[in-house]
Amino acid sequence: MDSIVVTGNGPLSGQVPIAGAKNACLALMPAALLTEEPLTLTNAPRLSDIRTMSALLASLGCEAAPLQGGRVLALSGHGLTGHVAHYDIVRKMRASILVLGPLLAREGAAVVSLPGGCAIGARPVDLHLRALEALGAEMELAEGYVHASAPTGGLRGGRIEFPFVSVGATENALMAATLARGTSVIENAACEPEIVDLARCLRAMGARIAGEGTNRIEVEGVERLGGATHRVVADRIELGTYMLAPAICGGEVECLGGGLELLPGFAETLDAAGVTLRETAGGIAVARGEGRIRAVDVATAPYPGFPTDLQAQMMALLCLADGVSVLEERIFENRFMHAPELMRMGARIEVQGGTATVTGVERLKGAPVMATDLRASVSLILAALAAEGETRVNRVYHLDRGYEDVEAKLSAIGARIERVSE
């Protein structure tokens, strides 16, 4: 099993290229199930989650071929051979549930195992099922599988109103509604950039969609969708992660390929903490001001608020802040599992329910730590960059689900980091 070994060595400088968004790509790929014509995705990230989704699509008869070293995905659903998404693949990744809506819309039936993924809370799929039921689908849960069927004549337009914002449920509903008869309205829809990216791709395929990026999306169903070529939006979570590296270590780093519009709430928080952000022709330049980072309070929220997927990384920064910070996790329960590992490095953190209180310390010390999930993995690496001595981050297989070439990217800006195999 691989580990990441980091030795803290001071300020960072240089440029980091930001990959295409994992979460956007995982929603775009199932869109290939909606059409018989080819869908080509460029700027695709090279990650294990992308390979898992490719395997899932292939199991359904959808061709999924990586080109140009994996930067391009050539997808074709012209010859689907089934509508059952089996447990052995789906258990690996939460996003697997996103094949449900497209299969149901095109095939009139879908059987999908309940999904797996990082152990950061229950994350039930009931909102996905309710949304599809609003389009006329019939649902049954049996032996760990969702059995879904469309009425005679296919799905029909309907009104979907989510009790709270869900990115995945919005994506499933949006894809299914493109082929439903009539008009569908999605209220309290997610506004994240990944939703906007999916809508743009679907529109290029011939879908009639209005309102993406707001909490009300309207979809007029069409009889069929065609093929398209679409560039995956930049990964705002990778962007935010690398923005935090110079904030923690000092120096200045330019993150290439992303803009502040992808992370408004996060950018506002960094500014309050004393981090300088400057948009450049190629992306965002990030530098830490003089002295220690200022303590700030953080509450995770749907876009445009502070992303839950950057909470662990932000905690790593606040461990070194001047003062006391309070972090509230309002999206997922059980998402402070990185806190005890940071404490091994000398951090002062108290967790009560969904709130973590962080009292900043002047320095962290290297230690052996264990990654518990994807974002926790990289939070420990960020903390290690600023720690005295060597830190060994174990169980980093989580990391490969969401970050490509992390060692190479950090090494290029001056970090002392390497992957070792035990």
The helix/strand/coil state of 66 is strand
The catalytic position among 62, 118, 191, 249 is: 118
45 contacts 232 by C-beta, under 8 angstroms: yes
Binding residues for UDP-N-acetyl-alpha-D-glucosamine: 94, 123-127, 309, 331
Amino acid in position 119:
A
Residue 255 tokens, joined = 């993150």
253 contacts 242 by C-beta, under 8 angstroms: yes
Say how far apart CA 101 and CA 108 lie, in whole Å: 10
Q: Is 255 annotated as catalytic?
A: no
Say how far apart CA 64 and CA 379 lie, in whole Å: 32
Binding residues: 22-23, 94, 123-127, 309, 331
Q: How many CA atoms lie within 13 A of 229 on its CB side?
A: 3
Instruction: Kindly give the interhelix angle for 374-386 and 311-318, rounded to the nearest 10 degrees.
Output: 20
- Helices and strands in the chain: count of H runs, count of E runs: 13, 24
Say how far apart CA 106 and CA 242 lie, in whole Å: 40
Alpha helices in 39-191 (DSSP H): 48-59, 87-90, 100-107, 126-133, 167-177
As a whole number of Å, the end-to-end CA separation of the chain is: 6
Instruction: Please name which of 326, 385, 330, 328 lies closest in space to residue 359, comparing C-alpha atoms.
Output: 326
132 contacts 148 by C-beta, under 8 angstroms: yes
What is the β-pairing status of strands 63-67 and 216-220? unpaired
12 contacts 415 by C-beta, under 8 angstroms: yes
The helix/strand/coil state of 246 is helix
Amino acid in position 191:
C
Hey, which residues are catalytic here?
Answer: 118
